[in-house]
Amino acid sequence: MTRKVLVLGGAGYIGSHVAKALALRGDIPIVIDNLSSGHEAFVRWGPLLKADIREQAALDAAFRTFKPDAVMHFAASIEVGLGEQNPIEFWNNNVAGSLSVLSATKTHGCRNLVFSSTCAVYGTPERLPLSETHPRRPINTYGRTKLAIEQALEDAARAGEINFAALRYFNAAGASPDGDLGEAHDPETHLIPLALQAADGTGTPLKLFGTDYDTPDGSCVRDFIHVSDLARGHLRALDRLLGRDESFACNLGTGHGVSVLEVLKAVAEVVGRPVPHSVHARRAGDPAELYANTGYACHMLGFKTFRSSIKGIVTDAWNYHRMNAQAPAPMLAAR
């Protein structure tokens, strides 16, 4: 059965991968994106409506025109540092925008919504691996805005207005195996693309923050999940929502951590050159380790990862980087 899915923020890194996955299985992704950080060239599997989710009239028009079966919501400001510098704008974009979305879903009777949440809602881990029962005590603006949206979803679900899946993912990484989609943030702040740029000389030496953590090699440990695995998790969550009158939240990760120095080693092996880097003091608020308990996602969604070895993630990211390094930003991956 072909379904129409409104993909908010579908011109961005994760949203575009999910839109592609929807189309490849026969669904119709309808992307709404203001292109403030997304790329028009990433939207090739369905229509693109250039609009901001805070524009209620634009949302209403999209619901009336396309009559979607479900919504997948990726539209958000995500850079943690920028959130600390400009929290009001983060709250306006993330929370006010999401309330506009909820208003539209209620008005137009679209009950099913998959929400792009984050492990940042947990805050500093009290125990590892992080499970869905861990207290939600975010320590930054980004995490607090995502928690506020989760709470709004929970209230709407209790009132019978919506069914939702809040997917709390860990470190999304990698690129589509065919090389047509990948990370293209401006500015780039994510570890793997920065390490690749440093290794091949297209970027500056990587800044490594902290080598004195209580971890096996002294560097931070994070749970890196391949973006293609992440996209599959979203499709499984959507199918569960459409098949059952039930809301839920679950982690999407691999269940194990990889250290920053292990990432640099993998990059060096794939690129064939070491990663130039300098060591700096720890950043405030960076926990030593973050990795998911994935048992609930396995139970709820039958979710497993297939491409999320760190070598596989880096290999796909490197292939994308080589294919797109010389492309101007607005044309990335446009082939």
> Measured between alpha carbons, how far is 266 from 313 in angstroms, rounded to an integer?
9
60-64 own/partner pairs: CB under 8 Å, 24+ apart = 60/104, 60/107, 60/108, 62/6, 62/30, 62/32, 63/6, 63/104, 63/105, 63/107, 63/108, 63/110, 64/108
The active-site residue out of 142, 169, 291, 320 is 142
Residue closest to 149 by CA, chosen among 249, 62, 80, 9: 249
265: enclosing H helix or E strand: helix 260-271
- The yes-or-no answer on residue 213 being catalytic is no
For residue 200, what are the contacts with CB-CB under 8 A and spacing of at least 6?
271, 273, 321, 325
Phi, psi of 204 (to 5 degrees): -85, 165
Residues with catalytic roles: 142
